[in-house]
Amino acid sequence: MTPEHKQIVRSTWQQVTPIADQAARMFYDRLFELNPALEPLFADADMDTQRKKLLQSLGFVVNGLDDLEPVVVPVLETLGRSHVDYGVTDKDYDTVGDALLWTLEQGLGPAWTSEAEEAWSEAYTLVSGVMRDAAANPVQVH
């Protein structure tokens, strides 16, 4: 990611933080609207806890944009592998990305510029790429 894109992601995330719980609710509502088949994956989840986990994960990535390889990537790889156990498939990442970008667009209003969309799309592509690769290659030999 370019330094400019990292800055856009950070600054727009700061604008989401005050409405974080509402944004997380919007995200899951949109996710289940886009693909109702995903809702059963959360049947046993406490959605309050799930929303907090989502926000913590997004915050972790946003705050770690300058430390992707040493800090963020190993965590994302672990998440990618664990999501397989929850029933997440490769195509589900596209739906999650669509729901995330829609949520950011709704939450940010006029701050959702073409540059913000590009920066967040790049960030999500990076995150989902690491998670998808880890899910497809569950055993890492070093």
Cβ contacts of 107 within 8 Å, gap of 6 or more: 15, 16, 19, 22, 23, 26
pLDDT (tens digit, 9 = 90+) per residue, 72-89? 999 999 999 999 888 899
Whether the pLDDT of residue 132 is over 70: the answer is yes
Host domain of residue 120: 3-136
User: For 69, which DSSP code?
Assistant: I
The answer to whether position 142 is within a domain reads no
pLDDT (tens digit, 9 = 90+) per residue, 55-72? 999 999 999 999 999 999
CATH number of the domain bearing residue 130: 1.10.490.10
Please tell me the total count of domains within the chain: 1
C-alpha 138/C-alpha 134 separation (Å) is 6
The answer to whether position 33 is within a domain reads yes
The answer to whether position 79 is within a domain reads yes
The answer to whether position 141 is within a domain reads no
C-alpha 118/C-alpha 116 separation (Å) is 5
